Structure 1
Amino acid sequence: MVAKGKMESTLILWQHLKPFSSNIINLIFLKRYLKVNYMKNIKINFLIPVFNLLWASAIGQWINPMPTGQTIFDIAFFDNDYGLMCGKNGTILRTDDSGTTWQTFTGFNATDFKQIEITSQEQAFLRSDHYLLETDDFGSTFIIRGELDSNYIYKAISMFANNTGYALRYNISSTQSYDLGYTSDGGNTFEWIAMPTEFTEIYNIKFKSQMYGVCTAKENTKNIYYTSDGGNTWILSMSGTDDGMVWMEPIALSSNGIFYVGYSFYYSQGWHGNILKSVDNGMNWSTIYGPAGGDGNMIRHVKTIGDDFIFFAADFMYNSPSAPNLVYTQDGGITWHTSNKPAGYGFNQISALGLKNENQVFVFVDSEDERQLFASQSTGQFEIIGENFSNSIFDVSFIQNKGYLLVNDRSYTQTLLMVSSDGGLNWTLLPAILEGIPFQCSFTSPNTGYVATYGSGGGVNVYKTINGGSTWGMIFTHSTFMPVYLEAFGPDTVILFMASNANPEQNSLWMSIDGGEVWEIRNIPNDTIHDIDFINGFYGLLFGGSASGKIWVTNNGGISWNEISLSLPALINGSMINPLTAIVSLKEGSIDKLYRINIQSGIHELIYSASDERNILNFAFSDINMGYVLAKKDIANTNLLKTINGGLLWDTLGYYNDLDGLEIFYADNGFSFGMYGQLIKLAQGYPLGSTFLFPHNLSFFTVTFDGHHIRVEIREPSYLPAKITIYDLQGRPLSVNHILNTSNLLINNLKPGMYLYRIDYNQGHSTGKLNITH
């Protein structure tokens, strides 16, 4: 659904960009703008990561790959088998098979995890802004450590031994901003001392022992300092050059105590990326990488294995994509080698780097068009091992268990489709290519469907398939209108609503009742129309109004319309729930709101009011009682809410980023999707694979399994009674087990396979995945 005001801006933008349509940046911006503002207000419910590998040459098939759309900030390995990843919105992933598959650890989606410190064979610490997580079993379970009050933020941690190390915290309300803390009990307690007041900003710390460490900080310039007394005093060992154009955050420490710093500065119209090395505890530094004339890179990540293997990742600066930005040495910096990248990928904006061994390196690329994980089969050649779909998802349509994804090609000028025959768990790219930017798809049977695209000149094309997407034929085209709404109803009714390129106030409604052979134009009111929705080929609504809100009702497929005026502001979006009920969104003052409207009488009732400066990005109702809202504050802070009583109460199901599409197919089952290729399966009314309540109080229970038995332990009586429900991957409940006391509950009656579980306890609920192997 689309607001007319947004429609007008989009048309102006389209006309402005047409002369520059060959510019990929403009097309990226255009596709994103069109997606958000022209998407039909679809319907949702509930989440499971369901992405599959699309390249057969990759290292391995992911059973349950990374969380949808979340940026990864760090990757680290305990050994060749066990590793961790962490990132935005509580993202924690664990592998026990060398990175071939990754399992999601849920429970902390209200925070970002930015750093992983491996301290021993099985122990690691994860850093968020206000607390640390500690694991001593390769990431199977986590315990919260070192919680800070709201005035403090963790800036860095450096754990040099089991349970032992340092943390740097920042006081946002104090003139003495930075403190250094030492812990010898795994972060339960810290001994804090103030860092020098001359340090106006501290970028990073790294310690090799309780006494010796290095920090990069800003005094008058950005410098490197060392300490030999546990941080009580800091001595300048290297001065930066130009204060405003120096980057010195990456610090690495080899297994034998050699320090490395990624040092980048801007000089003579170019960026110079350098690697500095110190073999005497940070007292003296030598340059082991720094091409003459600058390499055009800002070094973001430096990691080491042993003393001689060093790998760094850098950002391209000032349009210098030819510069090497994945570089490694195997001899301590005497000779350097450039890692190759997959064809068609720029690898700019690498947000995470992880070394498994000298032959396998993992990187997460977070650029606008390449948010996915890569790994090298050797240090010299990277391949995609698992990803959110590499294409932006514009729409999804399901008939029974067969579904279709509408995606773009990498040139942003053509439309592709992917098909799933197992309810969305696995997807295959279809060979057909349709001209134009993707808009919407609608299927009336597992093999018959329709797709609308934006034509190259701003027009609309409609295609039809009768063989499951193998081949397509164009059944409608118009050069002066652009699509706003496409919906098909079985067996052969197709409805197309369009807006004029030249005059956004001019709309056009077309209908075919024979599958697109013959089209008839329908009369529509000469008024401001913002949105449209049909529930079948006969009943439909127009939503709009200028000074005040209006709806127009048809029960004969748009041949005639009945106008109903409302004592509300102009309606922005709308959804027809049944012939008697509609849900509309509008803005009252500066607040986005949802109203339920009686279509016959025009009586309306407020059911949702956005708060916290949020905008309603999308909403969907499966009936008059059950509905969902995506409310967005910023790009990384969209929350999904649900009501089961018509809006009397709303529960927050989770926080996500870059999701804007909702599609519901029946009851509580559907998908949410977004521009960066995220696809999240929704089922049974809550997000499987995510935990929403009490993210700081999850140490009261554990769920463990050994490949056969599932063991549940509730350690706090106040959270009882509880129950655990086991689901299949379609979200269908298989068993319900009640937990009445703190004794272990053992479940051992499941066949081999992948399962989902949900624990409901006294103060909330939590969910996850498990794999029964025997």
Structure 2
Amino acid sequence: MKKLTLFICLTLVSAVAFAQWTWQNPLPKGNDLHSVYFIDASTGYSVGKFGTIIRTLDGGTNWTNLQSGTTAWLHSVYFTNTKTGYVTGDGGTILKTTDGGTNWTALKSGTTVPLNSVYFTDANTGYVVGGFYILWVSYIRIILKTSDGGATWTELLNENTSPLYSVFFTDANTGYAAGNTILKTIDGGNNWTDITNGKYYGKSVHFTDANTGYVSWEGTNFKTVDGGKTWSEFTIDPSSLIKSVYFTDAKTGYAVGSNIYKTIDGGTTWTQLSSRIDAPHLNSVYFTDANTGFAVGNAGTILKTTDGGITWTGLLRGTTAWLNSVYFTDTSTGYVAGDNGTILKTADSGTTWAELASGTTVTLNSICFIGADTGIVAGNNGTILKTLNAGTSWNAISSGTTEDLVSVSFPDKNTGYAVCNQGTILKTTNRGVTWNAFPLESANCLLSVYFTNVNTGYSLGCMHGMYTILKTVDGGISWTAISSGSDKYCRLNTIYFTDANTGYVLGDCGIILKTVDGGATWTATPSGTDSWLKSVYFTNANTGYVVGRYVYGCLMECPLNPSIILKTTNAGESWTSLTAVSALHLNSVYFTDTNTGYIVGENGIILKTTNGGGWVSAAKTQTMESTFTIYPNPATNKITISTHSNLHEETLVCIYNMNGALLQQEKFQSQNLIELDVSALAKGLYLVKIQTNKGIETKKLVVQ
């Protein structure tokens, strides 16, 4: 029984499994990038969210995704030579490669605190800084050092104060660390002195020589010419959030954030480089020579300049528009619709995606095909587009409404339905050539539509301030409201049927409802999440997939809000969580066979699986009402877990770090008050999972 209990506890946290969902758009990857580093003119690396590490060997023209072995958010990358490099990130993550990034090994940092920056002064000696804060109540600041190439790390500083974001050394002994203040060491990190008393601070620190250095914070740049004894303040842009600064020589420097800025007078004045292409927020900048530089940022953005910042070229390939709906006509040919009039097509099972001319810039919400060549797209402002030639051209069809069309369903080749977000249902009986409107006076909004045959259909709507399920048996002429059976006041997002009687409804708050009697009654099934669930698709009566996104983020930047991918193999009776590869919103899922499926969503993300979604990352769980309280929190040596319920059963308590590693577990029998010794845990953020026969509850714990 002890071994079984350990297995259950271990499977509660996301397992690290890779190559189960592959990125098809944008490329190389659409996760936010936090740091960029080049070892020469050709070879460079960038790291970011969800364990993202990418590498170029040709000066940025092509990038390859590397397997990091983690899903932690990675913040900094540094190489000591062409083969040996280090990456740091959340959960105390430190990775090392000795073969130029082909393989990465996780090093033992001795902490679970986010590690924000790494810098090496020689092949063996390196420094890492980090920390976090939670709602300005709990703070941790940490500095680590290695003298043996990362084999061991020594804690130089661990204080309950604001975190550090950047570290830079000018020689073997002299270094600077920036955060809400600036620290300096002159003895190789043994001692650190606050050289500004909190007056100057920064997210990025960079020195051009032993005395001259720069620290950036939001729209301000601070400069020292005497090794940090005094600092001068220069405004870059009051409205910009500067994240990174880099100098190519004593006079010429670049700063990135909400924009890209350049100075040619040693930081006294800064000019916005207005010629750069439009891009999301930028987080890091690096130059390989006086003219060639790279900047990386959110949504996988990679920019390159070869003329000292006068012009910048985007290296990310593919659209970054939000994608809302995906549909395949066969195993090779598929279509995606999204924001800004985006329609994509693949003819090679997603290996390449071509953007089609839709003739509109409105948001397109739903796409379906009624044959290999004939397709319908519904979008905002009453937009209906139709193609008769497999997407080569699209024609606008009059819908008779200006309301936003959010969902379209064709039960046969002639009959189709579309619903508007303001309560109107449209119907066509001639393959979408003309549409007739059927306003529902009792419905304030309609969110999804699905027909099982030409007469019987279902929709989700808002009625009298509540979300409800609607049914018609006369081809949409009349509709009857059906109780969902859910006691949660949460939005219902989509409806799907696997046969005439069996259907599913997804919603916010992790809602999954099921009917087996054609909608007469609905039963809630535990999803194991409280998040937004947006789309469902079944490959057969038993096997189905759900996608969405966690909406309850961390109080600090951490990997607790990944995309949601759920799978059932027993017709929705239970759902398992598949390994997430992103923190982006996932909006639509479609499978072409039992193993091959596609997911689309935020920032142009397109994912593909060829093995039915791959590894399961969490054991089957059942959510329960919050009944447990942990105090004190933050804690130092001991915590108490209390509940108002009468427990007459075994309670299993597991404590994990932010990378999912099990650190501590204990069993208790019929105890309403549980005390745990946590003095062996390093300062940082942890997950506490409490399991009883009623289900599983997860709490966050801060140890300081």
Mark yes or no: TM-score above 0.5: yes
Match of 1:684 among 608, 611, 619: 611
AA paired with 1:93?
I
Higher mean C-alpha deviation, range 510-519 or range 85-94: 510-519
CA contact (8 A) 2:36 2:284 kept: yes
**Worse-superposed segment, 678-687 or 550-559:** 550-559
Secondary structure of 2:321's aligned partner = coil
**Deviation at residue 621 of structure 1 after TM alignment:** 2.8
Distance 1:237 1:566, change over 3 A: closer
Cα drift, residue 181 of structure 1: 3.0
Please tell me the residue identity of whatever aligns with 2:24: V
CA contact (8 A) 1:113 1:127 kept: yes
1:428 maps to 2:354: yes
Gap change, CA 1:229 and 1:83, over 3 Å in 2: same
Distance 1:155 1:435 in 2: 39
Q: Which amino acid aligns with 1:625?
A: N
Q: Tell me if the contact between 2:142 and 2:164 (Cα under 8 Å) persists in the aligned partners.
A: no
One-letter identity of the residue aligned with 2:525: I
Q: Would the aligned equivalents of 2:590 and 2:597 in 1 still touch at CA under 8 Å?
A: yes
Deviation at 1:526? 5.9
> 1:116 is matched by which residue type in structure 2?
V
Q: How far did 1:113 drift?
A: 0.3
Contact 1:46–1:669 under 8 Å retained in 2: no
Q: Secondary structure at the match of 2:603?
A: coil
1:444 lines up with 2:378 in the alignment: no
Equivalent in 297, 302, 306 of residue 373 of structure 1: 302
For residue 592 of structure 2, what is the aligned residue in structure 1?
A: 666
Stretches of structure 2 lacking an aligned partner (at least 5 in a row): 1-18, 554-560, 620-655, 662-704
The aligned counterpart of 1:67 is 29
Partner of residue 300, structure 1: 243
Out of 153, 158, 162, the residue aligned to residue 123 of structure 2 is 162
Please point out which of 185, 195, 211 is paired with 1:227.
Answer: 185
RMSD: 4.1
Deviation at 1:230, TM superposition (A): 2.4
Shift of 1:357: 3.4
Aligned 8 A contact 1:109 1:692 in 2: no
Change (3 A) 1:355 1:462: same
CA distance in 1, matches of 2:28, 2:189: 38
Aligned: 1:133 with 2:95: yes
Find 2:214's aligned residue among 254, 261, 267: 261
Q: Counterpart of 1:607 in structure 2: which amino acid?
A: T
Instruction: Note if 1:580 corresponds to 2:518.
Output: no
The one-letter amino acid of 1:72's match is: L
Residue 264 (structure 1) shift: 4.9
Look up the match of 1:632.
Answer: 550
Whole-angstrom CA distance in 2 between matches of 1:332 and 1:526: 66
Distance in 1 (alpha carbons) for counterparts of 2:130 and 2:185: 17
Aligned match of 1:184: 147
Task: Report the alpha carbon displacement of residue 443 of structure 1 after superposing the two structures with TM.
Answer: 2.3
1:250 equivalenced with 2:241 (yes/no): no
**Aligned mates of 1:176, 1:651 — CA distance in 2:** 32
SS across alignment from 2:371: coil
For residues 210 and 617 of structure 2, the distance between their equivalents in structure 1, rounded to whole angstroms, comes to: 39
Q: Distance in 2 between matches of 1:92 and 1:326?
A: 26
Out of 52, 69, 72, which is 1:91 matched to? 52
Find the residue that maps to 1:608 and give its secondary structure: coil
Residues 585 and 593 in structure 1, CA contact (< 8 A), matched pair in contact too: yes
Of stretches 230-239 and 78-87 in structure 1, the one that deviates more from structure 2 is 230-239
Deviation at 1:553, TM superposition (A): 5.0
Aligned residues: 586
2:150 alignment partner, SS class: coil
Pair 124,608 (structure 1): closer, same or farther in 2 beyond 3 Å: same
Q: Which residue of 2 aligns with 1:364?
A: 296
> How far did residue 387 of structure 1 move?
3.9
> Which residue does 1:147 correspond to in 2?
109
Structure 1, 673-682 or 546-555: larger mean CA deviation:
546-555
TM-score, length-scaled by structure 1: 0.66
Q: 1:476 to 1:488 in 2, by over 3 A?
A: farther
Alignment of 1:345-360 (within 5 A): 345=278, 347=279, 349-360=281-292
Q: Does 1:476 align with 2:398?
A: yes
**What does the per-residue CA deviation read over 1:385-441, in whole Å, with 9 as the maximum and x for residues that have no partner?**
1245133323233222233332333xxxxx243332222222233334126432322
Amino acid at match of 2:432: G
In the alignment, the residues of structure 1 paired with residue 106 and residue 254 of structure 2 have an alpha-carbon distance, to the nearest angstrom, of 31
What is the distance in 2 between the residues matched to 1:600 and 1:375? Answer: 56
Match of 2:174 among 212, 230, 238: 212
- Distance in structure 2 (CA, Å) of the matches to 1:166 and 1:592: 42
1:16-95 matches, within 5 Å, as 47-51=21-25, 65-68=27-30, 70-95=31-56
How many Å apart are 1:582 and its aligned residue?
0.5
Cα gap change, 1:258 to 1:599, in 2 (>3 Å)? farther
1:314 is aligned, of 238, 256, 260, to 256
Q: 2:431 aligns with which of 506, 515, 519?
A: 515
Deviation at 1:479, TM superposition (A): 3.7
Q: Does 1:393 align with 2:323?
A: yes
Kindly indicate whether the alpha-carbon contact (under 8 Å) linking 1:313 and 1:350 is maintained by their aligned counterparts in 2.
no
Q: Give the residue type in structure 2 aligned to 1:83.
A: G
One-letter code aligned to 1:326: Y
Q: How much does 1:99 deviate?
A: 1.9
Kept after mapping to 1: 8 A contact 2:75/2:116: no
Structure-2 separation of matches of 1:520 and 1:297? 50
* Distance in 2 separating the partners of 1:337 and 1:200: 31
- 1:726 maps to what in 2? none
Partner of 1:192: helix, strand, or coil? strand
For the residue of structure 2 that corresponds to 1:378, the secondary structure is: coil
Are positions 1:623 and 2:529 aligned together? no
Q: Does the aligned pair in 2 maintain the 1:303–1:311 contact within 8 Å? A: yes
- Aligned AA for 2:25? F
- Aligned partners of 2:229 and 2:435: how far apart in 1? 79
Unaligned 5+ segments in structure 1 are: 1-44, 53-64, 266-270, 410-414, 501-506, 699-774
State the distance in 2 between where 1:408 and 1:213 align.
47
Structure 1 residues 105, 608: CA separation in 2 closer, same or farther (over 3 Å shift)?
Answer: farther
Q: What amino acid does structure 2 have at the position aligned with 1:670?
A: G
Cα deviation, residue 546, structure 1: 6.3
The DSSP-based 3-state class of the residue aligned with 2:497 is: strand
Mapped contact 2:418–2:449 kept (Cα < 8 A): no
Q: CA deviation at 1:498?
A: 2.8
Q: Is the 8 A contact 1:106 1:691 kept in 2?
A: no
Following superposition of structure 1 onto structure 2, how do residues 521-540 of structure 1 map, counting pairs within 5 Å?
531-540=448-457
Give 1:491 shift: 3.3
Deviations 1:226-264 (A, max 9, x none): 322223344565567xx4xx542311245x756522245
Amino acid in structure 1 at the alignment position of 2:355: L
Whole-Å separation in 2 of the counterparts to 1:472 and 1:176: 56
Q: 1:179 and 1:526 mapped to 2: Cα distance?
A: 59
Q: Deviations over 1:38-58 (max 9, x none)?
A: xxxxxxx97321136xxxxxx
CA distance in 2: counterparts of 1:348 and 1:136, whole angstroms: 33
Distance 1:180 1:421 in 2: 52
Partner of 1:38: none
CA deviation digits over 1:5-58, x for unaligned, max 9?
xxxxxxxxxxxxxxxxxxxxxxxxxxxxxxxxxxxxxxxx97321136xxxxxx
**3-state SS, counterpart of residue 189 of structure 1:** coil
**CA displacement 1:462-502 (0-9 Å, x = unmatched):** 222223344433332334643232124553333222354xx
CA shift in 2, pair 1:304/1:562, >3 Å: closer
Q: In structure 2, how many angstroms separate the alpha carbons of the residues matched to 1:532 and 1:663?
A: 16
The answer to whether the 8 A contact 2:442-2:463 is kept is: no
**Match of residue 383 from structure 1:** 313
Return the alpha-carbon distance in structure 2 between the equivalents of residues 334 and 484 of structure 1: 52
1:382 Cα shift? 0.6
Deviation at 1:659, TM superposition (A): 2.0
Q: Tell me the residue number matched to 1:118.
A: 79
- Cα distance, 1:676 vs. partner? 2.0
Q: What does 1:678-757 align with in structure 2 at a 5 Å threshold?
A: 678-686=605-613
- Residue 541 of structure 1 corresponds to 458
